[in-house]
Structure 1
Amino acid sequence: MQQYFDVIIVGAGLTGIGAAVHLRELCPGKSIALLESRDAMGGTWDLFRYPGIRSDSDMHTLGYDFKPWQDAKAIADGESILNYIRDTAREHGIEQNIRYGHRLQAARFSSTEARWTLDVEVAKDKQPQGTRASTEFDCQLLLMCTGYYNYEHGNEPVFPDQALFQGPVVHPQHWPQDLDYAGKKVVVIGSGATAMTLVPALAASAAQVTMLQRSPTWVISRPDRDRLANALRRVLPARVAYSLTRWKNTRLQQWFYRQTRRHPERVKRRLLSMLRKELGPDFDVDRHFTPAYDPWDQRLCLVPNGDLYQALRSGKAQVVTDHIAAFTPSGIRLQSGAELEADIIVTATGLDVSLLGGSRFEVDGEPVNFDQTWTWRGMMYSGVPNLVNTFGYINASWTLRSDLIARFACRLLNHMDSIGAEQVTPQLRAGDQNMPARPWIESFSPGYLERVMHLLPKQGDRQPWLNSQDYGVDKQTLPGAPLDDGTLVFRSPGEARDN
């Protein structure tokens, strides 16, 4: 069974649902379908169910540009974010366009037909009686909204003698809902956002929680409620209050990020001063919370209302900075010789990055190696027609960029209709051929990206071959970015067949 849609969106998470709403609004004549590999919408916010799951940025910037966030808490829990996504889909009639249990395996573009053919694996419970476990879809534009990590598994290193440990070893990406940690000793391996979310949540009922890290991470605390946003909402229409708060928060994000680039030592001193004030003079901030890298060389971890600090001060939680020598039947032996007793070990060891959902791509029978392509404004790839991929910011909320990309995709589709084109392909101009190749993302070095940077597209030294990480610049330039500067090659149906 083969079905055609003008646009197919892969992924029905925060990004995919938002993209569908933009298409409904800006390209009302286009037929759309969303392919979702799981059996529910929500993406990250439906997948992750570990204790304390929450946003790591405020919902006035992580929320959509068209739907105000109206809860009092700006740093929101996972269930509230999931409800926000569901409400959006329901309000705009998007759910009827979602094909659940549909996983994209491969996509093949034909210049003759000017369309993509998608090989899609269908979950058994989603198959009509008598059909096979796979099907095909055709589309003109393929809009990838799959996020950046593997939903099947996280980064799960195997530790020496791990099999000796007699208790459960749990990765947060697949948290057992029946896991009983009340009154137990829990060791959380890791120092990223997930670990810092888990530790205070577990400490509420566990006997003892230890955050075991190889090296520290920069952290910053802020309230989970935005007092100005809540005040504005009481006196202004929801959209006006939301827009003002969004403007304020994006400006603050950009200002702070620029300070870390221009004055890293000053920012370090400020962050460490805040930590010492929270944790007191007896806590070893230098050892446990002073990284060797500058702030925003890796993402800062947000601690809402200082909940991690409260857990540490109470004695219910502790931080240990050391390396793992081996697991033991009753815990972990460290390289320093110390041993950590544990009933449960949580491996908050990060994500496994997956470009474009791990699917295979071909153009006219030739496989696409994305590491050999150049990024076009961080959303398209040289030599790959009719494909738009959503990749957010590393220094701001993901949705800020996904909204911009979705709106640009709509503008691109409408332009193609206006000139009678069915195919658009980014191509290097003659003057771009000798550009120096730069990494997909620069000055950002978390382990999950370093492990795959060699697989990601290149960026150049000029527009449009840059992967911008500046929302302020993108917001000003992307809505009116030129479509006729020679880097986008448009073809009409006849031209596509002739070439």
Structure 2
Amino acid sequence: MEKQVDILIVGAGISGLGTAAHLTKNCPQRQFEIIERRESFGGTWDLFKYPGIRSDSDMSTFGFNFKPWQKSNVLADGASIKGYLSEVVDEFKLKQKIHFKHRVLSANYDSSISKWVVQIEDNNQKQQTWIANFVLGCTGYYNYDQGFQPDFPNQEAFKGQMIHPQHWPENLDYAGKKVVIIGSGATAITLVPAMAKGGAEHVTMLQRSPTYIASIPSVDFVYDKMRKILPEDVAYKLTRARNIGMQRGIYALAQKQPRLLRKLLLKSMEMQLKGKVDMKHFTPTYNPWDQRLCVVPDGDLFKTLRSGKASVETDQIEQFTETGIQLKSGKHLDADIIVSATGLEIQILGGIKATIDGKPLNTSKHMLYQGVMVSDVPNMAMIIGYINASWTLKVDIAADYICRLINYMDKKGYDVVIPQGDATELLEDTVMGSLSSGYIARAIDVMPKQGKHAPWKVTNNYLADRKELKHASFEDDVLKFHKQSSDTSRKPKLVS
């Protein structure tokens, strides 16, 4: 079977649904289809089912710019976010555009026909060939099949249950059980209070090194009051602008005065712990925002630690035992359940094997033009969210830019656009910036690289990007446009 598609969106998570909504609004003349390998939409917010799962960004900026988040809670649980995305799907009539349980096997750009030839396995496990003008990668940057799982010494000896949060067992009974959570990132600090509240006998967070954790209010009382006296959309826009400014301000402070921000964060954590927990467990060796800053609503993690229902250990694993974990300090942690909250396995384009005229596309050898399009690759864009702000902020401005580009091409009669790369611009750093997190370090072989200057430099600065992408000209020395050959009778090259 061969199917003609104008714009192929790969992934029906936040990036894919947001892009589809923007295309519906801004490019009504264009037809698009969405490929989703899972049984439902939502991406992260459909996959992860662990207790307490929630956003780690405030919802006024995590919601799309075209659809206000109309609740006063600052962070939202996974089910609420999935519900919000469901409303987007209904409002923009996207359900009929999504092909569930369809998996992209490979994508080859065939320059003889100026189109992408995409091999797809459908929901009946039969192979189809789709011919697409544009391919938009909206798969995020981690592997949905598996999380990052280190090989712990003597792991097979453990007689209890071993779990990775990415594959949380349905109806897991942890009531009255001892739980050890390995890790100190956003997942771990969410799981600790949730499992303690859910009836675990005791929860221990085992970390190699401490993380900066900021406590924020669970309810935005200012937004609540504004909604009572101002129109809903005005209250939302003001709250969103305030929170964008705060996000940017805190990140800028971390870059310019890291010692000051460190002092403020440490003092805040000390006040939350009230002398009940040793501050050595919350005093990182790195500066704020060298790794992603974690947030907890109403200090729930600190309250749980103060209550004694949970504890934290900063140590290294010597080996697993039948009944838990032996630490290098000599201490033994008893466990019925061990949760390995050890992070994500990074991949780009959902692991698709992409080629150009049969030559493999190694994304780590390319840069991103305007943070959106892959250098030297025709008619392809990908959406990678911010490391220091809400992912959705980037989705909105990137999708809007893509729509402007498509409308420009339609107006000029162009079929192909290629951002022509400059090898002298290529740096070793990835587009993820200067973060030193483990998952960032593991991404070096797949992530596109930074460029020295604009338009190849990814700044992770939403305010600057919003201004640049909104007004960026398409008539520069980088973007090369072509009109498709009138000879469309040539058969595409099928690359296995």
Choose from 340, 353, 369 the match for 1:360: 353
Residue pairs, 1:327-476, within 5 angstroms: 327-428=320-421, 432-435=422-425, 437-440=427-430, 441-476=432-467
* Counterpart secondary structure, 1:135: strand
2:263 paired residue number: 269
| Partner secondary structure for residue 451 of structure 2 | coil
Q: Which residue of 1 aligns with 2:290?
A: 297
What does residue 4 of structure 1 align with?
4
Instruction: Supply the distance in 2 between the matched residues of 1:101 and 1:78 (Cα, whole angstroms).
Output: 22
RMSD over aligned CA atoms reads: 1.5
Deviations 1:242-290 (A, max 9, x none): 11111110000000100000000000110111111110235211x2011
Cross-structure match for 2:493:
none
Tell me the equivalent position of 1:284: 278
Whether 1:260 and 2:254 are equivalent positions in the alignment is yes
Give the whole-Å Cα distance in 1 for the aligned partners of 2:232 and 2:106. Answer: 42
Counterpart AA for 2:365: Q
Contact 1:36 1:102 in 2 (8 A): yes
Give the Cα–Cα distance (whole angstroms) in 2 for the partners of residues 476 and 416 of structure 1. 21
Amino acid at match of 1:380: M
Give the Cα–Cα distance (whole angstroms) in 1 for the partners of residues 278 and 201 of structure 2.
Answer: 22
Instruction: Return closer, same or farther for 1:84/1:282 CA change in 2, 3 Å cut-off.
Output: closer
Amino acid at match of 1:221: S
Counterpart Cα distance in 2 of 1:456 and 1:56: 23
* 1:495 Cα deviation after fit: 8.8
AA in 1 matched with 2:60 = H
Note if contact 1:438-1:461 (Cα within 8 Å) is conserved in structure 2: no
> Counterpart amino acid of 2:84?
Y
Once residues 495 and 379 of structure 1 are traced to their aligned partners in structure 2, the CA distance between those partners, rounded to angstroms, is 29
Counterpart in 1 of 2:205?
211
Q: What is the deviation of 1:433?
A: 4.4
Identity %: 46
Q: Distance in 2 between matches of 1:463 and 1:343?
A: 52
Contact 1:190 1:211 (8 Å CA) reproduced: yes
Confirm or deny that 1:325 pairs with 2:343. no
Question: Does structure 1 residue 225 correspond to structure 2 residue 219?
Answer: yes
Structure 2 match to 1:186: 179
Secondary structure at the aligned position of 2:234 is classed as helix
The one-character-per-residue Cα deviations of 1:162-218 (angstroms, maximum 9, x if unpaired) are: 111111100000101121111111000000000000000001111100000011111
Q: In the alignment, residue 411 of structure 2 is paired with which amino acid? A: S
For 1:152 and 1:59, the matched residues in 2 are separated by 27
Structure 2 partner of 1:106 = 106
> Gaps (5+ residues) in structure 1?
none
**What displacement does 1:92 show?**
1.1
**Residue 238 (structure 2) pairs with residue 244 (structure 1):** yes
Call closer, same or farther: CA 1:121–1:479 in 2, change over 3 Å: same
| Residues in 2 aligned to 1:328 and 1:396: alpha-carbon distance in whole angstroms | 40
Letter aligned with residue 225 of structure 2: A
Q: SS state of the match for residue 33, structure 2?
A: strand
- Which letter does structure 2 place at the counterpart of 1:452? A
> What is the alpha-carbon distance in structure 1 between the residues aligned to residue 73 and residue 487 of structure 2?
52
| Structure 1 partner of 2:35 | 35
Q: Is the 8 A contact 1:377 1:468 kept in 2?
A: no
Deviation at 1:479, TM superposition (A): 1.2
Provide the C-alpha distance between the structure 2 equivalents of 1:166 and 1:256, rounded to a whole number of angstroms.
45
Structure 2: give runs of 5+ residues left out of the alignment.
491-496
Structure 1 letter corresponding to 2:386: Y
CA distance in 1, matches of 2:224, 2:129: 48
Q: How far apart, in 1, do the equivalents of 2:130 and 2:440 lie?
A: 31
Kept in 2, the 8 Å contact 1:112–1:496? The answer is: no
> Per the alignment, do residues 173 and 433 of structure 1 end up closer, same or farther by CA in structure 2, a change over 3 Å counting?
closer
**Cα pair 2:113 2:485 within 8 Å, conserved:** no
Give distance in 2, aligned partners of 1:66 and 1:195: 32
Q: Which amino acid aligns with 1:161?
A: N
- Separation in 1 of the partners of 2:127 and 2:233? 43
- TM-score scaled to structure 2, two decimals? 0.96
Structure 2 residue aligned with 1:15: 15
Deviations 1:373-415 (A, max 9, x none): 1221221121100000000100000000011111111111111
Structure 1 residues 184-193 or 222-231, which shifts more? Answer: 222-231
Instruction: Describe the SS at the equivalent of 2:151.
Output: coil
Give 1:22-61 correspondences, 5 Å limit.
22-61=22-61
**2:164 is matched with which residue?**
171
Q: Measure, in 1, the Cα distance between the counterparts of 2:15 and 2:347.
A: 16
Residues 116 and 138 in structure 1, CA contact (< 8 A), matched pair in contact too: yes
Shift in Å at residue 237 of structure 1?
2.3
Is residue 111–residue 496 contact of structure 1 (8 Å, CA) maintained in 2? no
- Of the structure 1 ranges 102-111 and 233-242, higher mean CA displacement relative to structure 2 is found in 233-242
- The number of equivalent residue pairs is 487
TM-score normalised by structure 1 residue count: 0.95
- Structure 2 counterpart of 1:368, one-letter code: L
What is the distance in 1 between the residues matched to 2:259 and 2:9?
Answer: 43
Structure 1 residue 234 corresponds to structure 2 residue 228: yes
